[in-house]
Amino acid sequence: MRRNADPLTIFRRLTAIPRDSGDEKEVAAYLVSFAKERGLAVSIDDAYNVIIRKPAAAGYENAPILVLQSHSDMVYVKAENSDHNYHSPLNLLEKDGFLSAQGTSLGADNGIGMALSLAILDSTDLPHPPLEVLFTTSEETGMDGAKSLSAAALKGRRMINLDSEWEGIFTVGCAGGVTPVFRRKADWETVPADYQSFKLTISGLAGGHSGVEIDKGRGNGIRMLARVIYGASSRLDARVSAMWGGSKGNAIPDSSEAVLWVKDAAGLKALAAEYDAAFRTELSASDQTVTLSIAPWEKRNRVLTGEVLQDILMLLLTIPVNVQTMSMHLKNLVESSNNIGILRCEEEAVTITCSIRSSVRSLKEMMCDQMTALAHGAHAEVEFGNDYPEWAFAVESPLRDKAAAVYEALYEKQPAMISVHAGLECGFFKERYPDMDMISAGPNLFDVHTPQERLEIASVQRVYVWLVKLLSILND
């Protein structure tokens, strides 16, 4: 029987399967059953990654293998007033050309990528090269499935990743990254006589994702706090008993606080007003609601020693922040950056957590060297964790060229090419398979990871037509 499957029908079936990150066992079983029912070879590993293989259509037997890839997990969130049970099918709504779920996230990230791949597997009359269809797990919480994939798992060296959220925009690269954490031992001493304590607060900053928004010129609450403390220390001999900022290493901190001790209270208030005015001027385009406030605070009997404070300020004022280099290949692409995301002052130590990103490995390594040198100069330690690889833009990519030509022929518009300043599974694939030729594409999604998530129905159909046409020309 001839079949030409509909990806939206398949996606609706997937929304009945609970598949929050870390809970992919049931959807993996569905994928295995899907393959076996159609007589397709299938394998599953300990991480519940699933690979389904489909032989080439007639006339394409000698074509190179093509990999179609998506991830099987989703971010399940629901509205505060929703009574939806996670283990029940999502309540789908179709309105004004969009598909959404009532009171919950939809899971089109990346369920629609899965559905596009499964529709290709389900169809019996499409021309295509040999296919390896890979479904990875736990992408949303650390890309664990991609990380654990065996180097022998894939034979193909051409891949279409279907985890993109913008139709007509092909992702052709991504940043790698690493998380440096500085630790400076805290030494304390008694507060000098006649000193008063004040709490200094910086608030009203826009914050944002340290990859996507790092080029927006937004204020970093921790860096700004260090500027004020340095000014107070050098001009008023201020001392510090507490400082705090940020909540995540990969988020631009939108607030920060410190408890300062000074002898000259009026001088501190004047200095705070001076910095408040400076910040409002500097950030008038990006952080219009920025505020620096100061208020009396409860007394403590100790402060950081002068040596420790100066070491911490040296780090906070000299660690590279924001955009470091721009790509010369792709217009407006941030190539490398760093964010100071978390500052904590605790009993034993002061810690500073950063997030380095770069689409060029040597630049990432150079910034790690910078961090190490700065740590040595500040009598601190630095450890590097959560290292993930980049996917560097390839100057030559036959798959990208063919994909773009097909899209332009179908829709009379050239697709845009972008590289994202964030980590993607493709970075792990490129590290494991250096000769893999890749692009990432998908239909229009909006408000992913929220109960307002919605999928444009017509966009799904257009992307599927493009994908089918592209497969038909990949015969060499």
Q: Using one digit for the tens of pLDDT, what is the confidence trace for 313-346? A: 999 999 999 999 998 888 888 999 999 999 999 9
How does pLDDT run across 61-73, given as a tens digit for each residue? 999 999 999 999 9
Spot the catalytic one: 23, 24, 73, 165.
Answer: 73
> Looking at the chain, how many residues does it have?
476
Helix ranges (H only) for 291-391 are: 306-318, 361-377
Check residue 209 and give its pLDDT: 81
Which of these, 405, 402, 365, 420, lies nearest to 387 by C-alpha position?
365
For residue 12, which of 72, 90, 74 has the smallest C-alpha distance?
Answer: 90
Residue with tokens 């910086």: 202
Strand order in the sheet with 158-161: 41-44, 50-54, 131-136, 66-71, 158-161, 437-440, 169-174, 416-420
The pLDDT tens digits of the residues spanning 280-304 come to 999 999 999 999 999 999 877 799 9
Domain ranges of the chain: 7-174+391-473, 177-388
Q: What's the rounded Cα separation, in Å, for the pair 392 and 403? A: 18
Task: Write the DSSP symbol of residue 253.
Answer: -
Contacts of 83 (CB under 8 A, 6+ apart): 103
Q: What integer best gives the mean pLDDT of the chain? A: 95
Question: What's the average model confidence in pLDDT over 177-197?
Answer: 95
Task: Check residue 208 and give its pLDDT.
Answer: 84
For 177-388, CATH gives 3.30.70.360
Question: Over the stretch 255-279, which tens digit does the pLDDT of each residue have?
Answer: 999 999 999 999 999 999 999 999 9
Q: Which tokens hold the place of 104?
A: 């919950």
Cα separation, 368 vs 296, whole angstroms: 39
Q: How far apart are the first and last CA of the chain?
A: 28
Closest alpha carbon to 245 in 366, 351, 91, 388: 351
pLDDT tens per residue across span 190-227: 998 899 999 999 999 999 888 878 999 999 999 999 99
Predicted pLDDT of residue 3: 61
Taking residue 445's Cβ as centre, other Cβ atoms within 10 Å add up to: 22
Look at residue 2 and tell me whether its pLDDT is greater than 60.
no
In angstroms, the CA 311 to CA 309 distance is 5
Q: Which residue has the tokens 């009026």?
A: 266
Confidence of residue 397 (pLDDT cuts 50, 70, 90): very high
Per the annotation, the verdict on 73 as an active-site residue is yes
Task: Name the active-site residue from 24, 122, 132, 139.
Answer: 139
Supply the pLDDT for residue 300: 72
Separation between Cα atoms, residue 122 and residue 38, nearest integer Å: 8
Percent of the chain exceeding pLDDT 70 equals 99
Q: Which residue has the tokens 């919950």?
A: 104
The reported pTM is: 0.79
Strand-strand pairing, 50-54 and 131-136 = antiparallel
Residue 61: how many other CB atoms lie within 10 Å: 11
* Residue 239 amino acid letter: R
The pLDDT of residue 1 is 44
- Higher-scoring residue by pLDDT: 234, 142: 234
274 annotated active-site: no
53/134 Cα distance (integer angstroms): 9
Q: May I ask the CATH class of domain 7-174+391-473?
A: alpha beta
